[in-house]
Amino acid sequence: MSRTTLPAWRALAALAPQHAAHRAPHGFLVSGAGLTLDLSRQYLGAGVLRPLEQLAVECAVAQRRDALLRGEPINVTENRAVLHALLRSGAAAPLAGVEGSAEVAAELDALRDLTDRIRGGRLRGLAGRPFTDVVAIGIGGSSLGPQLAVQALPKTGPRLHFVSNIDGAALEDTLAPLDAATTLFLVISKTFTTEETLTNARSAQAWLHARLGPDPVDAHFVAITARPAAVAASPVKAGQVLRFWDWVGGRYSLWSTVGLPIALSAGMAAFEDMLAGARAMDMHFRDAPFAGNLPMLLAAAGVWNRTFLGMPGLAVLPYAHRLARLPAYLQQLEMESNGKRVDLEGRALDYETCPLLFGEPGTDGQHSFHQWLHQGTSRAAHELIVVARPMSALGEHHDKLLANALAQADAFWLGRDNPDGHRHYPGGRPVSLITLPALDAFHFGALIALYEHKVFTQGVLWNINSFDQMGVELGKQLATSLAAAVRGEAAPPDHLAAYLSALRAMHVR
């Protein structure tokens, strides 16, 4: 049965045309795991909040959350559990005792040991020198989380570089300034079949051989995968292999050994603080009632804005330069999870799901696309992320940064009347304001777990499977089948013949 037949859904649909009368009260603040969520600039007056809470009840959000945290196989299309919370639950609840806990603890020990050896200069390359630079090769979930975290947290270890794109320029530009003798490569791939990652790894191996000679260069490679057998069968040999598991989704994997770049750059203590922050958010998600539950409220506001009020976009605007990669990270987390058009049974949905997510750090975005946000013909919803404690020694900068964040939030929401249409700001653009006391590992972990649970809750409200990503497969298959035609070794399909001959005429290859 479609969600649209639920009583709470109908109540919300009936309210939508009068949403402007339902502005939330000033000071609508909720807290959890050290973070604060300010929903004062949302159409979440009590008249809307109550049916949203009722919708969560009718969609069994609490029961589905408990099934997630019990390790049940809630990824129905792939028949597997979704256990990223196990990776950070330690010996404590919510997932203590779930099968797999012992393996998780053992692999965390392996991660700690390897981190200590690399940071301590005991793991060395062929020339016997410690590693000064680490190049993490991976893509999607095997890159975006570590990239974000490495940039967000203090850097106390070797320099980290990330290569994801199959465009050879990405690898070449990264390697150009590096010394092969002191460069370590991490090849991160859950499946160990991803074309981009394996191609980059092979080229990295050739780069090492060209500089260090023909001896095996295994000592310069660490592989991180859920399929160790595929590493053994691969032409790129790794001196060390760390594991993770099938039941960790790629975009939920930074808490596993995929987080090695984070541990190397920020230190193992910071990595464990990050896990603790996420664990605190897991407990909050499990225990807090709807009206005080950050992930549930953020999710409900998002569904209300997107599905009932028809806002097509979600702008994520971190007012923290070290969170510059947060929009890119969330594009995968939200859009790969909830960019779906069918329900759990595969039936076409008759309502809108995940919005188009985009963003840039404030204040940069203000001088670019905020014009569209303030005065465009469509309304987007906004999530602003603010950090209370300055992130630099330049206090004056921080005060100005905070003033800009609040100014944008008010301008989006309150607008300003002007009889001159060009100067009129309609306002009424909703904002969720998320505040971290500090950009430390604990609160960073809590922030990411907040988003994971937001995405989960939205998936339940929309009745979709947030844990597969079948939409990315067609392009991979087509690219494989077109490779020979692009090389000129096979006849192209008819519809591409003219284009490919024009391409060749331009000497592009």
Q: Has 172 been annotated as catalytic?
A: no
CA atoms within a 13 Å half-sphere pointing along the CA-CB vector of 257: 31
Q: Which run of H or E residues covers position 30? A: strand 29-32
Which residue in 155, 400, 424, 476 is the catalytic one?
A: 476
Q: How far is CA 289 from the centre of its chain?
A: 26
Nearer to ligand F6P, 358 or 467 (CB): 467
Nearest 10 degrees: Cα torsion 69, 72, 74, 76:
170
53 is catalytic: no
How far apart are alpha carbons 378 and 354 in whole angstroms?
16
- 161-180 residues in contact with ligand F6P (CB under 6 A) are none
Q: Per CB under 6 A, which region of 162-170, 190-198, 311-319, 347-355 contacts ligand F6P?
A: 190-198
Both tokens assigned to 361: 């750090």
Q: Which of 125, 141, 158, 459 binds ligand F6P (CB under 6 A)?
A: 141
Q: How many helices (H) and strands (E) does the chain have?
A: 18, 11
| Residues in contact with ligand F6P, shown as a per-residue x/- string from 315 to 344 under the rule CB under 6 A | ---------------------x--------
Contact 184, 224 (CB under 8 A): no
Say whether residue 257 binds ligand F6P (CB under 6 A). no
197 touches ligand F6P (CB under 6 A): yes
Instruction: For 398-417, give one letter per residue: b (16+ CB within 10 A) or e.
Output: beebbeebeebbebbbebee
Query: Does 362 contact ligand F6P by CB under 6 A?
Result: no
* Position 256 contacts ligand F6P (CB under 6 A): no
Chosen residue from 42, 89, 164, 189 binding ligand F6P by CB under 6 A: 189
Residue 416 gets which letter from DSSP?
B
**Sheet with 380-387, edge to edge strand ranges:** 29-32, 35-41, 431-436, 380-387, 313-319, 356-358
Give the x/- contact pattern for ligand F6P in 468-487, rule: CB under 6 A.
Answer: -x--x---------------
Q: Is 191 near ligand F6P (CB under 6 A)?
A: yes
Size of the site for ligand F6P (CB under 6 A): 14
Binding piece for ligand F6P, criterion CB under 6 A, among 78-86, 100-108, 135-143, 149-157: 135-143
Is residue 234 a contact point for ligand F6P (CB under 6 A)? no
367 is catalytic: yes
* For helices 473-486 and 195-212, angle between their N-to-C axes, nearest 10 degrees: 50
Closest distance to ligand F6P from the beta carbon of 190 (Å): 4
21 is a site residue for ligand F6P (CB under 6 A):
no
Strand partners, 332: none
Interface positions with ligand F6P (CB under 6 A): 139-142, 189-191, 194, 197, 250-251, 336, 469, 472
The residues annotated as belonging to the active site are 336, 367, 476
